[in-house]
Structures are given as C-alpha cells and as structure tokens.
C-alpha cells in the first residue's frame, strides 16, 4: 500500500508541475536542489529588511549558509516535493519569508543569524519591539522648537547652557505599542535606532527534528559553565567514593599515599621511607618535653635551655593530595581510623612489610 501511495503522490506532483509555466518549474526544481543539498533547512522572516541590506546579509552568509527568496507558493511546492519531513516547514511559509540552508547545526545557524542583526531606525506605525528610552544627556541640538517636541513625546527636556538637554532617562514608549509620527521624528533627530534588523528564524528542520527558535536560543557560556561544574562534581564524587578512572587515578594514588604516610607516622611504623619524618617527630617531642621541665639539673646538658618547637599546623602532618575532598569524606576517614585502632600493629605490619 505504501508503494501505491508514493506513486500516487509522485504522479500528483508531476501533474501540478506540468501545469506550471516553464520558469516556475525551473524555479521549483532549483529550490528542490537547494533544499536537498543541506543538512539543515530553515524558514526566515525578511519583512522590513531593505533590499540593499538583504543583499548584504546574503553576501555575509556566503560560505556558511545560502539564503534564497522566492514566491511562497513555489517554495511550498518545493518543500512538498522534497518531502522527507522537510515539508513540515510549509506551516511557517507566510508573509515575507525566505529559505535558508546550511550544513552547520541549527544552534550554530541561530547564533549566526542573531549576531548578524544590526540596529535600525523605527518608522511611524511600527510596533516597538522593546521599551524605547531617550537617555539623559545633551542632545547637541540648539535651543528651539525641538525641546517642545521632546516634551510632547514624554521626555524630560529643557534648555540649559545654550543647548537642549534631557534631564533624566525617559521611557517614551513601551514594548508592543505603536510608534507615532512625532516620536519617529524625534528618534530620527537624535539618531536613536531602537530596533534590530536581521533574519528572524521561524523554524529549522535538521536530521528529522523540527526546531523552533526558542529551542535554539541557548546561552552557550552558561551551558559550558554547567558542564564544567558537572565534570568537577563527578570528579569529586569519584575521588570521595574511591572509584578509579583514567582521570581520577592519579589523584586517588596521591591521596592514598598521603593517608598511608600520615597513618604510618601516627602509628610510628619503622619504615625506611618514614624514618626521616619519624626522627623529626621524635626530636620535636623530646624538645617539647624538655622545655616543659623547670629543673634544668634533671636534663642532660644538650637539652638544657631548649625551646619548645612551634606547633605544626594540622594539615602539615597529613599531606592533602586533593583540595576537593569533602567534609563527608573527612568524617568517613575519622570513622575508619576509630575502627582501625582496635586492630593493633598486625594489620599495619602487613601493610608496610
């Protein structure tokens, strides 16, 4: 049955194409070829973009994307002829639109189009895309009727020091409201361009998925920071859970070495690698004891007048291989130390040989 349906669709498409003038058939064929040559295809809104600026945008996209403008009826027919899922874009073909193709991913295409937008003046009758604010400062306009025009549109303005000045930031129109002729004239005089002109992406079809603009508007820096935080958290968890991986094995070995050394010093294990530290520890203990005895006659001559050594910091007795060790890990180590105290020296002897 599916084969029959495909044949009927192809036959119907051929009949529609046959009814078209030659130039329209060629246009549809060119659009079909274009749509089939890119991995990502989208529909963009081009309303309000001057022809010269549109040509500049097309030129800027050269090498990374192709923009094609055609009649909506021909574009719809081309999308339907390609089929393969891309015909879903036909629902977005309305008004002044164009089709754009790229081998970049949809997120990269969206970012490129957003970054290519440029400020532009707004005309009377247009809807403000965002709040319009006339900033505080000197307008550079000589005293005259313009101060009244500013006040008419709602700006706090007055003549001061031989010039017209706006005394505070003045919101003269809210987003979604229509721009009056008076406001359009004032903004033009001040050189304020409150809107952005560019290709607005309506939808993109790529690898079997239809993307809306809100799906593509992501903060790359925020996502990168989230990934970095997740990677750091995973590494910390792996180290605290003693789960060896290629990334955490060096830190785990360093941590284990530091813990073994600290334990060996605490238990006074006579190991060759620990002897210098054990001797230093014993010397410090003897000096501290000698300094605490008031009767110098009771001390050997070499220990008389010895000052107590400075108290070492807690962390100096135990090397910390990884600063990411958590409090939970430290509590777990204390618990393990308490359990090990009852095992005696047999376990330690086996550990250190």
Domains in the chain (CATH in brackets) are 2-117+198-217 (3.30.70.1730), 134-187 (3.90.105.20), 222-352 (no CATH)
**Would you give per-residue pLDDT tens digits along the chain (353 residues)?**
444 444 454 545 554 555 678 889 999 999 999 999 999 999 999 988 888 888 888 888 888 999 999 999 999 999 999 877 899 999 999 999 999 999 999 999 999 898 888 888 898 999 998 999 999 999 999 999 999 999 999 999 999 989 999 999 999 999 999 999 999 999 999 999 998 888 999 999 999 999 999 989 888 788 889 999 999 999 899 988 988 888 889 999 998 888 888 888 888 888 888 888 888 888 888 888 877 777 777 777 777 766 766 665 544 444 444 444 444 444 444 444 444 444 444 433 333 34
- pLDDT for the residue 18: 57
What span, in angstroms and rounded, lies between the C-alpha atoms of 210 and 200?
A: 16
Cα–Cα nearest to 201, from 90, 81, 112: 112
- Asked whether 118 and 56 are in contact (CB, 8 A), the reply is no
- pLDDT for the residue 327: 43
Report residue 322 CA to chain centroid gap. Answer: 28
Start-to-end CA span in the chain (Å): 79
For residue 195, give the 3-state DSSP assignment.
strand
What span, in angstroms and rounded, lies between the C-alpha atoms of 291 and 235?
A: 47
CA angle 287-291-293, nearest 5°? 120
């Amino acid at each position: 049955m599916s084969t029959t349906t495909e044949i009927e669709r192809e036959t119907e498409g051929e009949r529609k194409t046959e009814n078209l003038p030659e130039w329209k058939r060629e246009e549809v064929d060119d659009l079909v070829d274009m749509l089939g040559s890119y991995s990502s295809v989208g529909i963009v809104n081009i309303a309000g973009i001057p022809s010269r600026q549109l040509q500049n945008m097309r030129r800027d996209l050269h090498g990374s994307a192709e923009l094609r403008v055609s009649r909506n009826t021909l574009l719809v027919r081309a999308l339907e002829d390609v089929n393969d899922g891309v015909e879903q874009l036909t629902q977005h073909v309305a008004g002044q639109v164009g089709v754009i193709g790229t081998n970049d991913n949809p997120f990269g295409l969206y970012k490129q189009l957003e970054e290519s937008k440029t400020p532009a003046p707004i005309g009377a009758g247009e809807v403000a895309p965002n709040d319009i604010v006339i900033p505080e400062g000197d307008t550079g306009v000589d005293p005259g009727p313009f101060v009244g025009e500013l006040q008419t549109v709602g700006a706090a303005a007055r003549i001061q020091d031989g010039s017209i000045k706006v005394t505070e930031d003045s919101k003269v129109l809210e987003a979604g409201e229509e721009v009056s002729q008076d406001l359009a004239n004032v903004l033009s005089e001040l050189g304020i361009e409150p809107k952005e002109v560019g290709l607005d992406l309506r939808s993109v079809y790529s690898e079997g998925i239809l993307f809306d603009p809100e799906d593509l508007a992501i903060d790359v820096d925020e996502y990168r920071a989230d990934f970095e935080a997740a990677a750091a958290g995973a590494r910390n968890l792996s180290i605290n859970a003693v789960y060896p991986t290629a990334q955490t094995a060096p830190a785990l070995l360093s941590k284990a070495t530091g813990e073994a050394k600290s334990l060996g010093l605490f238990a006074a294990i006579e190991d060759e690698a620990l002897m210098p530290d054990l001797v230093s520890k014993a010397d410090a203990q003897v000096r501290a004891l000698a300094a605490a005895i008031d009767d110098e006659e009771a001390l050997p001559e070499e220990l008389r007048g010895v000052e107590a050594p400075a108290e070492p910091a807690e962390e100096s007795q135990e090397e910390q291989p990884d600063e990411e060790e958590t409090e939970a890990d430290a509590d777990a180590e204390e618990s393990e130390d308490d359990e090990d105290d009852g095992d005696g020296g047999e376990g330690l002897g086996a550990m250190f040989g």
